[in-house]
Amino acid sequence: MSYHLPVILFLLPFATAICMPMVGSRRRRWCRPMALTAVFAMCVAAVVNLWIVVEHGETRYAFGGWPISTSLPDAPLGIEWVNDGLASVMLVALSFLAWLCLFYGGPLTLQSLGAREVLYYTLILLLISGLTGIVLAGDIFNVFVFLEVAALSAYALVGIPGGRALIVAFRYLILGTLGASFYLLGVVFLYASTGTLNMADLAQQMADKPELMTSKAVIGGTTFMFIGFGIKMALFPLHGWLPGAYTRAPDSISPLLAALMTKVALYGWVRIMFWVLGARAEIGQVHVLTLLGGLGALAAVVGALLALSQEDVKRMFAYGGISHVGLILIGVSQGNSTGFAGSMFYLINDAVMQAGLFFIAGAAIHQHGTRTVEDLSRLRQSPWLIGALIVLALSMIGIPPTGGFFGKWHIILGAIEAGNYLAVAAVVVATVRALKMHGGVEISDLGAENVDAVRRGCVNLERHLRNIQKYYLMWVEK
Amino acid sequence: MLELIEAALQRPNYIAFVVLFLWGLFIMVTHPNMVKKLVGMYLLQTSILLLLVTIGVKQDATVPILQGSDAVLSTADQMTPADYTNPLPHVLTLTAIVVQVATLGVSLALVTALYREYGSLDEDEILQGIE
């Protein structure tokens, strides 16, 4: 039974999604309880699964009993699912966030949907099962299929409100499909040069035959895969689809998308990077991790800058998410366990924060009609809402008792360990920007301080933290 | 240089792949008409399938179903793998086609909804109509 747990985790939302139209067409009121029950069962199963993995170590699921990577050097013929420490933790985060988003979404959507409510819940459950599949898959083609299952449901969900949402959904679809096609192209290249799709087998072959890592097919294939994942995770130059999609998506859907879509794509890239290519991979003479770190630093700083200039609350949070993807990449690319652990912690932490921020944005729009940053002061009427926003913002900045601190702290420690002070500077700049983005302070008086931050790097962190608190209090009092 | 051209000309499938891929990408990115964008998207996806099928080809090989004496269980160990094409790329192609059809379905549904709402298929016109 416990061996089958990963598949049960996937089947819970998937089977419910398939049953939903059958039940829902006759009894529409059952849809929401059904979806909530299925995802709640998924949460329980994910926790049990995590406990089993912690107690007994990782398991590998072989579909149909075909040989998988455990039978190497025999060819792994079957599809493999890997249920290791990282995957099981991700699954717990994923299922709990999905349940919260479902629970939150109810009262916001029902009135406008009518009979389409059935399809709405079907799509959400399909999205969740697609994401579960990406987390568990140990086979690069399997990842492609689940990426598309999740993405197709996401396109449809973004387009629900009609009007402008349809345009951004269409753009999201065009760019998302482009990303998936690039990923598939990468899979074809890797398959053509190694003859296998299994991640563990690929890694084994890369280790056995060093000439593979310098072959143009593997380098090209990996680059295409990275571009594909880059579009899906909204890495800075490829982020075009994200702000519009998250802003225009229904208020009940944007938390789910913001928390999970980009993070799971990032997780997919981390799998390929560390479980297939290995941390020492090089393109030409350049270390892949160095490239990643550079891209991450760029995304972290530019995303934060763009977030500053936004008027719309949801759009501002969306750009914040782009910046955080960069932060996570910085930590991953330090090539030591401190940075990696910090990044993975920050990844889950950021999923929770993004969900929380979009929950608040939705509630603010629903209750107070607040759409712009200036209007946020109207939230004063509901102390719980503004209190939650402050706690979340503190976490985004990284004030010690909150989760954001530990993630950022370890990313910075990892960067210092690797002697990479540019990365430290980027994290700090992104942090300083984040604090201003929430402080609602005038943009004009920010420039000088940032130059400072870059120069002095980590030493300044503490002072900035104090500044943050100061700005915070100012804002609250205002 | 001449050898390179000669080598390229001996692999028409790869040239076709590159041409179709770039052509599709170009249409998809530049064309304002949404249905034409989808045509570009379809071209791009199909070009990848062409590449996938191409790498599965073997000379003088037949369909991957055991034939003649190979089909006898006791002699199955002695079969020569070179006689049969690789079935895996074909399976991947089938799966990718399914994904492609689903994508096309969702995108056409979105385009239809947009057309009903704004009476146009041109992205620029629709954006003007909103403003």
Rounded to a whole number of angstroms, the distance from the CA of B68 to the nearest CA of chain A is 24
Give the tokens for residue B118: 């704004």
Neighbours of A475 (CB within 10 A): 17
CB proximity list for B2: less than 8 A, separation 6 or greater: none
Enumerate the residues of chain B whose CB falls inside 8 A of the CB of residue A169. Answer: 110
Contact yes or no for A324/A225 (Cβ under 8 A): no
Structure tokens at A339: 């940075």
Q: Which one has a higher pLDDT value, A177 or A236?
A: A177
Q: What percent of chain A has pLDDT over 90?
A: 19
Which amino acid appears at position A303 of this protein?
Answer: G
Which candidate from A141, A170, A188 shows the least CB-CB separation from B48?
Answer: A188
Chain B contacts in chain A segment 156-185 (CB below 8 A): 156, 159, 162-164, 166-167, 169-170, 173-174, 177-178, 180-181, 184-185
Each residue of A294-310: pLDDT tens digit? 888 888 888 888 877 77
- For residue A80, list its beta bridge partners: A62
Does residue A144 belong to the interface with chain B, where contact is any CB pair within 8 Å?
A: yes
Residue B69 resides in a domain: no
CA distances from A262 to A52, A249, B18 (A): 27, 15, 29
Residues in chain B within 8 Å Cβ distance of A191: 55, 88-89, 92
Task: Judge whether B50 is closer than 8 Å to chain A, CB to CB.
Answer: no
Q: Is the peptide bond before A73 cis (omega within 30 degrees of 0)?
A: yes
* pLDDT band per the 50, 70, 90 thresholds, residue B101: very high
Q: Evaluate the CA torsion angle A110, A113, A116, A121 in order and state its sign.
A: negative
Report which DSSP code applies to A163.
T
Joined together, the tokens standing for residue A242 give 């994200």
Contacts of A181 in chain B (CB under 8 A): 44-45, 48
Question: Domain containing B50: what range?
Answer: 2-60+81-130
| B28/A170 Cβ within 8 A | no
Nearest CA among A295, A301, A293 for reference residue A428: A301
Does residue B81 have a pLDDT over 70? yes
Question: Please, which residues bridge with residue A287 across strands?
Answer: A282
Mean pLDDT (whole number) for A24-44: 87
pLDDT computed for residue A400 by the predictor: 72
- Per-residue pLDDT at A454: 42
Q: Which residues of A touch B104 (CB under 8 A)?
A: none
> Would the pLDDT of B80 be above 80?
no
Q: What is the identity of the amino acid at A360? A: I
Q: Where are the domains of chain A?
A: 285-478
- For B64, phi then psi, to 5°, come to -75, 60
Is B96 in contact with A152 (Cβ distance < 8 A)? no
Range scoring the smallest mean pLDDT among A111-125, A234-248, A390-404: A390-404
> Which residue in the set B37, B45, B102 is minimally distant from A181, CB to CB?
B45
**A181/B92 Cβ within 8 A:** no
Distance between CA atoms of residues A449 and B118, nearest Å: 48
pLDDT score recorded for residue B76: 62
- Give me the half-sphere count of Cα atoms (radius 13 Å) on the Cβ side of residue A159: 25
Radius of gyration of chain B (CA): 22
CATH number at residue B107: 1.10.287.3510
Question: Quick one: pLDDT at residue A43?
Answer: 92
Site from A116, A182, A185 to mutate, B interface, most B CB atoms within 10 angstroms: A185
DSSP of chain B? -HHHHHHHHT-HHHHHHHHHHHHHHHHHHH--BHHHHHHHHHHHHHHHHHHHHHHT--TT-B-SS--GGGGSGGGGGG--GGGB--SHHHHHHHHHHHHHHHHHHHHHHHHHHHHHHHS--BHHHHHHHH-
What is the band of A321 on the pLDDT scale with cuts at 50, 70, 90?
A: confident
Interface contact flag, B89 A191, Cβ < 8 Å = yes
Is residue B70 included in any domain, yes or no?
A: no
Nearest to B117 among A141, A162, A177 (CB): A162
Are A174 and B127 in contact (CB < 8 Å)? no
Q: Phi first, then psi: give them for residue A138, nearest 5 degrees.
A: -115, 30
pLDDT band at A186 (very low <50, low <70, confident <90, very high): very high
Answer whether residue A450 shows pLDDT above 60. no
The interface predicted TM-score (ipTM) is 0.92
Q: So what's the pLDDT on residue B112?
A: 92
What pLDDT was estimated at residue A181? 93
> Does residue A196 sit in helix, strand or coil?
coil
Over 60: is that where the pLDDT of B11 sits? yes
Residue in A156, A163, A188 closest to B52 by CB: A188
What mean pLDDT is predicted for residues B63-85? 73
Q: Of A44, A42, A36, which Cα lies nearest the Cα of A20?
A: A36
Burial degree of A305 (CB within 10 A; 0-12, 13-18, 19+): middle
CA–CA dist B46, B39 (Å, integer):
10
Number of other residues whose CB lies within 10 A of the CB of residue A341: 17
Task: Verify whether the Cβ–Cβ distance B102 to A148 is below 8 Å.
Answer: yes
Q: A218 Cβ partners below 8 Å, 6+ apart?
A: A189, A190, A193, A194, A206, A212
Largest CA distance in chain A: 68
Between CA A26 and CA A171 the distance in angstroms is: 35
Q: Do A173 and B117 touch (CB under 8 A)?
A: no
Predicted pLDDT at A144: 93
- At residue A165, the pLDDT reads 85
Q: Assess whether pLDDT exceeds 90 at residue A346.
A: no
Which of A143, A166, A175, A201 to mutate: most B Cβ within 10 Å? A166
Average pLDDT over residues A22-50: 88
Please name the member of B21, B92, B113 whose beta carbon is closest to the beta carbon of A166.
B113
Residue A437, pLDDT above cutoff 70: no
| Alpha carbon distances (Å) from A216 to A222, A223, A437, B10, B18 | 10, 10, 43, 20, 16
The pLDDT of residue A339: 81
By the CB < 8 Å criterion, does A146 face chain B? Answer: no
**A61 - beta bridge partners?**
A81
Do the domain assignments include residue B75?
no
A75 has a chain B CB within 8 A of its CB: no
A446 against B88, higher pLDDT: B88
Residue A442 has pLDDT above 60, yes or no: no
Smallest CA–CA distance from A188 into chain B, residue: B52
User: Encoding tokens for residue B60?
Assistant: 């003088």
End-to-end CA separation in angstroms for chain A: 57
The answer on pLDDT for B105 being more than 90 is: yes
Interchain pair A173, B95: CB under 8 A: no
pTM of the predicted protein model:
0.87
Q: Which long-range contacts (CB under 8 A, 24 or more apart) does A35-38 make?
A: A35/A102, A35/A121, A35/A124, A35/A125, A36/A99, A36/A102, A36/A103, A38/A12, A38/A13, A38/A125
Chain B residue numbers touching A221 (CB-CB < 8 A): none
A80-83 and A282-283: which strand pairing?
A: unpaired
pLDDT digits (tens, 9 = 90+) for A455-470: 444 444 455 445 544 4
B67 to chain A, closest Cα gap in Å:
21
Q: Is the pLDDT of residue A163 over 90?
A: no
Is residue B102 included in any domain, yes or no? yes
- In this prediction, residue A109 has a pLDDT band, given cuts at 50, 70 and 90, of low
Report the residue from A148, A173, A197 with minimal CB separation from B99.
A148
Please give the interface size between A and B, counted as residue pairs whose CB atoms are below 8 Å apart: 76
Residue with the larger pLDDT of the pair A126 and A447 = A126
Give chain A positions within 8 Å (CB) of B102.
148, 152
Contact A141 B113 (CB under 8 A): no
**A51 close contact with B: CB closer than 8 A:** no
Average pLDDT taken over every residue of chain A: 80
Question: For residue B106, what pLDDT band results from cuts at 50, 70 and 90?
Answer: very high
Where does residue A343 fall: left (phi above 0), alpha (psi -120 to 50 degrees), or beta otherwise? alpha
Distance CA A293, CA A335 (A): 10
Q: Note the pLDDT tens digit of each residue in B47-57.
A: 999 998 888 88
Residue A452 contacts B where some CB pair is shorter than 8 Å: no
pLDDT per residue over A77-108, tens digit each? 888 888 888 899 999 999 999 998 888 877 66
B52 within 8 A of B92, measured Cβ to Cβ: yes
More confident residue, A158 or A451: A158
Angle between helices A403-417 and A313-332 (to 10 degrees): 40
* pLDDT bracket for residue A453 (50, 70, 90): very low
Four-residue CA torsion sign, B62, B63, B64, B68: negative
Question: Phi/psi at A84 (nearest 5 deg)?
Answer: -110, -170
Domain total for chain B? 1
Among chain B residues, CA nearest to A151: B103
Q: Among candidates B34, B16, B14, B51, which has minimal Cα distance to A191?
A: B51
Calculate the dihedral angle through the C-alpha atoms of A50, A52, A55, A57, rounding to the nearest 10 degrees: -90
Does A159 contact B107 at a Cβ distance shorter than 8 Å? Answer: no
